[in-house]
Structure 1
Amino acid sequence: MRILATILFLLAAAAAQAAVRQTEAGPVEVTEVASGLDTPWGLAFLPDGGFLVTERDGRLWHFGADGGRQQVRGVPKVATTGQGGLLDVLVPRDFAQSRQVYLSYAHRQGGGAGTAVGVGRLSRDGRRLAEFRRIFEMAPGSRGGRHFGSRLVEARDGTLFVTIGERGDRPAAQDLGRSQGSILRITRGGAPAPGNPFLGQPGARPEIWSYGHRNPQGAALDGAGQLWAVEHGAQGGDEVNRIRAGANYGWPVISYGRHYSGGKIGEGTAQDGMEQPQHYWDPSIAPSGLAILSGNLLPGWDGDFLIGSLKFDLISRLEQRGGGLVEVERLTWPETERVRDVRQAPDGSVWFLSEGHGAIYRIAPAGR
């Protein structure tokens, strides 16, 4: 009840910004929750009804239960090179006791930069991350400013999934001796998690959970605790994948897209020992952010996947059918300009970050 009351309080100040938008499941209300953000990247809800938002240039913002907003001090120095910077934010389930907040970011490594993860304790007033420490960094680092990946997901057992792009170095995604192009599973302290598929395998990074990824920028658990990820292809071939331990997702050996030059990628669309996507887009939508919905606040959307598009300014809605995923609707509204992240709030509503507008919006049934 406290969370719901807080959300209603936050929305009251922005009521004039609310708009009714049509969907195939009926009308919804889209409300601006916050604005004035500079390249927002990640969003996480706090148990007291507040929330945290990252800006890629290196700022973390705390929006309090009272509607106040303040910049959080104590965040790490980030490498703001190309697509790099301060990226995702994760509030773990035990936050009320631990006060821990996890961040992923581009960390300077010699002449290059790599994806890193760190943790600190949010002060009671929300003004500072105390005792922040880096617990993991990609090894080895890479030059260039592309494909940091960088979504964080807490597994049901409390371990952390971390998505990392191949940093523009395509062969790295097939090299188990490098972190690039992989989804990792680490402990809360940053160590390889027990039960990882390549623990003890000579020459393999023990933190790797799956590999053969290009640039996964969306990840979430479904209701059964299964991890899913969405990743950028090249010119075509954006993918949604069901992530299995030890599985190879094919990049750059197989793909449903082509290089930006028009040239063929790898060896076709399928090969033994490599996973097929549950859905792919051609042409690319440039997907970022993934929410897998539960509950009945939004009728007809329970169990659906909502994925933001940076290229076409929309949210793609997918349904599970016949063991795969089918795109059933594209939510294209004035608010959906460069959708960077999509999350389901504790009250069941859907929030999304518009990088284009520098704003946060909430989707709910009209009057809710």
Structure 2
Amino acid sequence: MSDIRFIALALTMASVPLASCGAQTSVESISENSGAFAVSEHGTFAEPWAAAFEPGTGVLFVTEKAGTVKFYNPASGTTGNVTGVPTVDYGGQGGLGDIAFGPDYASSKAIYLSWAEAGEGDTRGAVVGKGTLDCSAGTSCAIKGLEVIWRQSPKVTGRGHYSHRILFSPDGQYMYVASGDRQKMQPAQDLSNNLGSIVRLTLDGEPAPGNPFADRGGVSQEIWSYGHRNILGMQFDEQGRLWDLEHGPKGGDELNLVKQGANYGWPIVSDGIHYDNDPIPDHSTRPEFAAPAIQWTPVIAPGNFIFYNGDMFPEWRGDALIAGLKTEAIIHVSIDGEKATEVARYDMGERIRQIVQGPDGAIWVLEDTENGRLLRLAPPA
């Protein structure tokens, strides 16, 4: 049985710089006990990176960065292993990444994974693979027929900024993949490669019809938006609008409303600075680039985020809940049109890598450690 424990999570905004439409705003110091969640522990995972609930079963599947997939059944409290997982290039920020179930999963059993793949000459890049999931054995599952359907191009040196988040459009017709700049910066402004971009694909990984740069041919046909740095979250809101969440350099983490063909400015502009303290022009100096809906300096170092739409926390419907790594918190952001405002931080005491919403509206989080706990958050009794 899970060890249920109630914790009063501090709602803290002391010395937190908030921003709306890219403009930094200071707020008065607020500190109070919120008692926001009842927290229960449900086992641990080795460097968990992503998680998704299997449609129709309520079973949670978790990727572990070194190259394993496991599942947890909340109804029975049992954990199992998944075979058929690809070999990954593990190291730095690389390894096994995202997991997603196809929008037609009920009939196709399609499952998607992303991971870092080794190339020639000490290069590597993110890929997305598609297979089918077979859990007929009961105590274990197998991914069958896994094939790579998309690759970052080109593969480059280094082990950072893969991004490789996977998201399906609300109509279930298209797949969006976050492709980080791989810490090379300038490729994010070059439409002849797909680094530093969000790509829009068919469910089989081909360039989707209607993409804004299709007439250029090559990988340009895939690109939906560009000028991104390191995207760790993508979600559609209740209006069907696409948002992304990305790491800035030293300062300037961003939540962006993503629009077709838009250029988000990296590395030409940022509301942060380089790690060696060299300045970068702010977004406000170059209005031709799309500016963030909100930016954070100091950074929050996001893991991913959700737009909450469940019944357990009805007052949060439509709001963004962000997994905070460096901040060791859940960051609560409200959306008003194309503006965003941070309204709370819930201290979790550990780096939070992943946040997902359960079928019943509970919130599940994974800690970013070698033995990261899986926690279920529900309203206090």
Q: Distance in 1 between matches of 2:104 and 2:72?
A: 19
Question: Which of the residues 289, 298, 307 maps onto 2:304?
Answer: 289
SS of structure 2 residue aligned to 1:34 = strand
Report the counterpart of residue 3 of structure 1 in structure 2: none
Q: Distance in 2 between matches of 1:121 and 1:251?
A: 37
Question: Which of the residues 293, 309, 333 maps onto 1:278?
Answer: 293
SS of structure 2 residue aligned to 1:62 = strand
Residue 71 of structure 1 and its aligned partner are, at CA, apart by: 1.6
Question: Which of the residues 67, 72, 86 maps onto 2:82?
Answer: 72
With over 3 angstroms needed to count, the CA separation of the structure-2 counterparts of 1:267 and 1:21, relative to structure 1, is: closer
8 Å contact from structure 1 (residues 21, 30) kept in 2: no
Deviates more, 1:88-97 or 1:238-247: 88-97
SS of structure 2 residue aligned to 1:300 = helix
Q: Distance in 2 between matches of 1:239 and 1:277?
A: 6
8 Å contact from structure 2 (residues 330, 345) kept in 1: yes
SS of structure 2 residue aligned to 1:18 = strand
Q: Determine which structure has the larger strand proportion and give its number.
A: 2
8 Å contact from structure 1 (residues 21, 333) kept in 2: no
Runs of 4+ in 1 over 3 A off after TM superposition: 22-27, 266-270
Q: Distance in 1 between matches of 2:282 and 2:321?
A: 31
Q: What is the identity, as a one-letter code, of the residue corresponding to 1:51?
A: L
Residue 67 of structure 1 and its aligned partner are, at CA, apart by: 2.8
Q: Distance in 2 between matches of 1:217 and 1:182?
A: 12
SS of structure 2 residue aligned to 1:128 = strand
Superposition map of 1:351-362 within 5 A: 351-356=364-369, 357-362=371-376
Q: Distance in 1 between matches of 2:39 and 2:4?
A: 8
SS of structure 2 residue aligned to 1:200 = helix
1:122 counterpart = 2:133: yes
Question: Which of the residues 18, 29, 46 maps onto 1:38?
Answer: 46
1:95 counterpart = 2:113: no
SS of structure 1 residue aligned to 2:81 = strand
Structure 1: state its 5+ residue gaps: 1-12
With over 3 angstroms needed to count, the CA separation of the structure-2 counterparts of 1:180 and 1:21, relative to structure 1, is: same
Deviates more, 1:318-327 or 1:45-54: 318-327
Q: Distance in 2 between matches of 1:294 and 1:86?
A: 28
Q: Distance in 1 between matches of 2:324 and 2:284?
A: 23
8 Å contact from structure 2 (residues 310, 362) kept in 1: no
Q: What is the identity, as a one-letter code, of the residue corresponding to 1:81?
A: G
Structure number with higher relative contact order (C-alpha < 8 Å, ≥ 6 residues apart): 2
Report the counterpart of residue 112 of structure 1 in structure 2: 123
SS of structure 2 residue aligned to 1:97 = helix
Q: Distance in 2 between matches of 1:22 and 1:252?
A: 37
Deviates more, 1:186-195 or 1:298-307: 298-307
8 Å contact from structure 1 (residues 252, 266) kept in 2: no
Q: What is the identity, as a one-letter code, of the residue corresponding to 2:5?
A: A
Q: Can you list the C-alpha shifts for 1:211-245, whole angstroms capped at 9, x where unaligned? A: 00000001111112211110000000000001111
Residue 350 of structure 1 and its aligned partner are, at CA, apart by: 1.1
8 Å contact from structure 2 (residues 324, 353) kept in 1: yes
Residue 322 of structure 1 and its aligned partner are, at CA, apart by: 6.0
TM-score, with normalisation over the residues of structure 1? 0.91
Report the counterpart of residue 6 of structure 1 in structure 2: none
Superposition map of 1:151-166 within 5 A: 151-158=165-172, 159-166=174-181
Deviates more, 1:115-124 or 1:232-241: 115-124
Report the counterpart of residue 25 of structure 2 in structure 1: none
8 Å contact from structure 1 (residues 198, 204) kept in 2: no
1:345 counterpart = 2:358: yes
Q: Distance in 2 between matches of 1:205 and 1:18?
A: 50
Q: Can you list the C-alpha shifts for 1:91-143, whole angstroms capped at 9, x where unaligned? A: 12322221111001111121211110001111123421011111111111110
Superposition map of 1:1-368 within 5 A: 13-14=1-2, 16-22=3-9, 27-35=36-44, 37-46=45-54, 47-64=56-73, 66-110=76-120, 111-124=122-135, 125=137, 126-158=140-172, 159-201=174-216, 205-266=220-281, 269-321=284-336, 323-334=338-349, 337-356=350-369, 357-367=371-381
Q: CA-atom RMSD, angstroms? A: 1.7
Residue 364 of structure 1 and its aligned partner are, at CA, apart by: 1.1
Q: Distance in 2 between matches of 1:28 and 1:272?
A: 41
Aligned residues: 351
Between the two proteins, what is the percent identity of the paired residues? Answer: 38
Report the counterpart of residue 29 of structure 2 in structure 1: none
Report the counterpart of residue 8 of structure 1 in structure 2: none
Q: Distance in 2 between matches of 1:106 and 1:51?
A: 22
SS of structure 1 residue aligned to 2:150 = strand
Residue 195 of structure 1 and its aligned partner are, at CA, apart by: 1.3
Structure 2: state its 5+ residue gaps: 12-33
Report the counterpart of residue 10 of structure 1 in structure 2: none
Residue 300 of structure 1 and its aligned partner are, at CA, apart by: 2.2
SS of structure 2 residue aligned to 1:229 = strand
With over 3 angstroms needed to count, the CA separation of the structure-2 counterparts of 1:362 and 1:207, relative to structure 1, is: same
Q: Distance in 1 between matches of 2:95 and 2:125?
A: 10
Residue 202 of structure 1 and its aligned partner are, at CA, apart by: 5.0
Q: Distance in 1 between matches of 2:257 and 2:218?
A: 26
Q: Distance in 1 between matches of 2:219 and 2:70?
A: 37
Q: What is the identity, as a one-letter code, of the residue corresponding to 1:69?
A: T
Q: What is the identity, as a one-letter code, of the residue corresponding to 2:361?
A: G
8 Å contact from structure 1 (residues 164, 180) kept in 2: yes
Q: Can you list the C-alpha shifts for 1:35-71, whole angstroms capped at 9, x where unaligned? A: 1x11100000012111100001000112235332122
8 Å contact from structure 2 (residues 283, 291) kept in 1: no
Q: Distance in 2 between matches of 1:243 and 1:210?
A: 7
